[in-house]
Amino acid sequence: MLKQSLKLMIPGPIQPDPAVLEAMGSPVPPHYGPAFTDFYNETLSLLRQVIQTSGDIFLMPGSGSAGIDACLGSALLTGEKLLVGINGFFGQRLVAIAESSGLVTVPVTAEWGQPLRSADFAAALDAHPDARAVAVVHLETSTTIANPIAEIGALCRQRGVLFFVDAVSSLGGLPFQMDDWGIDLMASATQKCLGAPPGLAPVAVGPRAWESIDRVPSSNHGWYTNLRVWRHYAEDWADWHPFPITMATNNVMALNASLKQLLAEGIATRLERYRGLALRLRQGLRQIGLRPYTPDEMLAPVLTAAYGPAGVPTGKIVSYLEREAGIKISGGLGALKDQIIRIGHMSPTTTDADIDETLAALRTFCEQNQGAP
């Protein structure tokens, strides 16, 4: 058996609360019948409070990318045009997913480390009046930058284009209001701020998205990730099996337990707690001489990046912390490889003591690697 003893300070998967792991390890129930159907529906209603939508919600077994695939592939036809915000690795990933469904993507870029600007989407929509949709990552996990979703959503409403948001690393950790922000489609994942193990992609679909989905042929882009298939079973088999496949029952049980903890704590209180961790970490990083990658005004409450000591590839810091302290942090992705470290504090179980322990290990590393060539 694989023994996991590392302290996870990465941007997902997170270490869930013991009660969530206990739910995950419960005896496996059948995925159909009235008892599991009620439980599934209860889980959706808990999730609804986090997503803040009156639209439809599905739990798709798979990782966040399955949900993204489902949203983009179901709502748009091969050859249709999509504006994609790119200011990091996961914006680029949205392009790859969209293009796998034959969509024509138009990049709307900002420098890595800077947020996307709604004015740039307005200009891109002027230049591409045939664009049907806009896709944006909420929290760009590669750079820790939160993009201005409410502003871009308001623009999309004004211009009558669909708005898809990748909330894989933000849902449950950053403010999120699907309906009020004009979001039509959203995909997330359970292994980050939702506090559960990997395995489910929550997907939410609003009425304008359904209009777009119902416009496309039923054979559009596959079956498993076709949202029309998911709606069909949610309606036709509502009383006993409201999804088309064998549901990942224990993942639903874990998510249910985690969502109950989140709502019992209160979303605002949880977010404030994460912000406190972020501020503590930033202060400690500065004391060690590791400059945060973004200014405090742009902090992500659940994820912090910092530059390493001059001349030290940050991969070395990541290996050191794992080897010497049993703490798993992340390095930079893509263009930021070996440039930054990224420390996740998106688990509901993360405490001040975890932040302090991580800082202590980083301090020792820095003391041993001062002025390294």
List residues forming the annotated binding site for substrate.
Answer: 342
350 touches ligand PLP by CB under 6 A: no
Q: Considering beta carbons, is residue 103 or 216 the nearer one to ligand PLP?
A: 103
Q: 56, 166, 184, 354: which one contacts ligand PLP (CB under 6 A)?
A: 166
Q: Considering beta carbons, is residue 112 or 365 the nearer one to ligand PLP?
A: 112
143 touches ligand PLP by CB under 6 A: no
* Region binding ligand PLP by CB under 6 A among candidate stretches 45-53, 61-69, 274-282, 307-315: 61-69
Please choose, from the candidates 44, 338, 332, the residue with its C-alpha nearest in 3D space to the C-alpha of residue 200.
44
CB of 61 to ligand PLP, least distance (A): 12
Q: Considering beta carbons, is residue 197 or 242 the nearer one to ligand PLP?
A: 197
294 touches ligand PLP by CB under 6 A: no
Q: Considering beta carbons, is residue 242 or 331 the nearer one to ligand PLP?
A: 331
Residues in the chain: 373
What single letter denotes the amino acid at residue 320? Y
8 touches ligand PLP by CB under 6 A: no
From CA 17, how far away is CA 349, in angstroms rounded? 6
Q: Is 41 exposed, middle or buried (0-12, 13-18, 19+ CB in 10 A)?
A: middle
Two tokens, residue 280: 């503590």
CB of 258 to ligand PLP, least distance (A): 16
* Region binding ligand PLP by CB under 6 A among candidate stretches 149-157, 166-174, 247-255, 296-304: 166-174
Looking only at residues 189 through 228 of this chain, which bind ligand PLP when binding is defined by CB under 6 A? 189
Q: What are phi and psi of 82, to 5 degrees?
A: -130, 130
Tell me the CB-side half-sphere exposure of residue 326, using CA atoms within 13 A: 7
Q: Considering beta carbons, is residue 142 or 314 the nearer one to ligand PLP?
A: 142
Q: 74, 141, 256, 294: which one contacts ligand PLP (CB under 6 A)?
A: 141
Which of 212-238 are b and which e, b meaning 16 or more Cβ less than 10 Å from the residue's Cβ? Answer: bbeebeeebbeeebbbebbbeebeeee
From CA 362, how far away is CA 317, in angstroms rounded? 8
Q: Considering beta carbons, is residue 141 or 256 the nearer one to ligand PLP?
A: 141
Q: Considering beta carbons, is residue 37 or 330 the nearer one to ligand PLP?
A: 330
What single letter denotes the amino acid at residue 58? F
CB of 214 to ligand PLP, least distance (A): 27
Cβ atoms within 10 Å of 332's Cβ, excluding its own: 24
Sign of CA dihedral 223, 86, 90, 269: negative
Cβ pair 322, 328 in contact under 8 A:
yes
- The residue ranges of DSSP E strands in 145-251, in sequence order, are 145-146, 162-166, 185-187, 200-205
CB of 191 to ligand PLP, least distance (A): 7
Widest CA span in the chain: 66
* Region binding ligand PLP by CB under 6 A among candidate stretches 42-50, 60-68, 155-163, 337-345: 60-68
Number of amino acids touching ligand PLP (CB under 6 A): 12
65 touches ligand PLP by CB under 6 A: yes
90 touches ligand PLP by CB under 6 A: yes
Which residues lie closer than 8 Å to 1 by C-beta, 6 or more apart? none
176 touches ligand PLP by CB under 6 A: no
64 touches ligand PLP by CB under 6 A: yes
CB of 169 to ligand PLP, least distance (A): 4
12 touches ligand PLP by CB under 6 A: yes
Q: 169, 249, 258, 347: which one contacts ligand PLP (CB under 6 A)?
A: 169
Q: Which residues pair with 134 in a beta bridge?
A: 83, 163
Please choose, from the candidates 7, 53, 56, 64, the residue with its C-alpha nearest in 3D space to the C-alpha of residue 194.
64
Two tokens, residue 95: 């392009």
From CA 268, how far away is CA 287, in angstroms rounded? 29
Q: 47, 86, 108, 168: which one contacts ligand PLP (CB under 6 A)?
A: 168
Binding site for ligand PLP (CB under 6 A): 12, 63-65, 90, 93, 137, 141, 166, 168-169, 189
